[in-house]
Structure 1
Amino acid sequence: MKYIVFILFTVMTNAAAQLMLKQGMMSLGTISFEGTNPLLKLLQIVFSPWVFFGLCTFVISMASHLYVLSKVELSFAYPFLSLAYVAVAIFAYFIFREDLNAWRIAGIAFICVGTVLIAQSGRDLGDREHEDETAGLSPDKIHTSGIVR
């Protein structure tokens, strides 16, 4: 569980990126590609401030996720990303006044329960570093210079 901070950082940067992208698209209004070069329109969208910072935040989130994947099992780390939906739904309710009805709240509760179960099932897995790659090799297969024959 020592990598949980990095996993939660990944979740929160992922959620923050979604919120920034939503804000960026709302600030651009209705997008129409008619009568304009689609590439120029796409560049206009990508380089609008909120969208650009949202995309940059996604890059940070992915870098954090790659680090986490190098330290813990995928089946332990990946389900935590569902917590980004929880964060997005809650923040979207407060920031964008989006609907948070009983069905969504129930779904959020199920996601949270499932994530807690996965976290509990991987208590020892989250702390275990990847095994040394040579652990399965017998000494006779390892050359003295460290090169496998």
Structure 2
Amino acid sequence: MTGYLPLIIFGVLLNAAAQLALKQGMRQIGYFEFSLQNSSHLFFAVASSPYIIAGLTCYVISVVVWLLVLSRVEVSYAYPLLSIGYIVTAFAGWFLFQESLSPTRWTGIAVICIGVWLVTRSA
């Protein structure tokens, strides 16, 4: 199963890239309220954002990669490795968007790292 670890990580990184692209797209669009009056404006803003389109494209590709993973690896091994995405997006949010990483978040990231290490050791 560990032979498929690069494919799993690729899918996870695509998913994280999707989150980051969507975040950047929404940073450009800005805060909005869901209402019937602004729904058409919002739809066109979202549909024309290159970051939103890139994020959705990354999601589609990551689903294809994930289907490949699931056809080859036990889900009880592969699925916990998705938590690597939490680690990547936390660091990227901190680095790219100047989001805060409190001591509690650092502790959570450390726990996730330990959990990922334990799962990969079980293969």
Q: TM-score, normalised by structure 1?
A: 0.76
2-side partners of 1:48 and 1:88: how far apart?
A: 21
- After TM superposition, the structure 1 stretch with the greater mean CA deviation from structure 2, 66-75 or 41-50, is 41-50
What is the deviation of 1:41? Answer: 2.5
The answer for the alignment partner of 1:116 in structure 2 is 117
8 Å CA contact 2:19–2:55 kept in 1: the answer is: yes
Query: Aligned letter for 2:58?
Result: T
Stretches of structure 1 lacking an aligned partner (at least 5 in a row):
123-149
The answer for the alignment partner of 1:106 in structure 2 is 107
Secondary structure of the residue aligned to 1:53 is helix
- Report the identity percentage: 43
The answer for the alignment partner of 1:83 in structure 2 is 84
Q: TM-score, normalised by structure 2?
A: 0.92
What is the deviation of 1:37? Answer: 5.5
| 1:7 paired to 2:4 | no
Per-residue CA distance 1:24-76 (angstroms, 9 max, x = gap) = 00000122344636255224313311111101101111111110000000000
Matched ranges for 1:1-149 at <5 A: 1-34=2-35, 36=37, 38-39=39-40, 41-122=42-123
The answer for the alignment partner of 1:140 in structure 2 is none
2-side partners of 1:27 and 1:61: how far apart?
A: 24
Judging changes above 3 Å, is the alpha-carbon distance between structure 1 residues 35 and 8 closer, same or farther for their aligned structure 2 residues?
closer
> Which has more radius of gyration?
1
Structure (1 or 2) with the greater helix fraction: 2
Judging changes above 3 Å, is the alpha-carbon distance between structure 1 residues 43 and 73 closer, same or farther for their aligned structure 2 residues?
farther
Q: RMSD of aligned C-alpha atoms?
A: 1.5
2-side partners of 1:39 and 1:71: how far apart?
A: 43
> Aligned pairs, how many?
122
What is the deviation of 1:20? Answer: 0.4
What is the deviation of 1:8? Answer: 0.4
Stretches of structure 2 lacking an aligned partner (at least 5 in a row):
none
Secondary structure of the residue aligned to 2:3 is coil
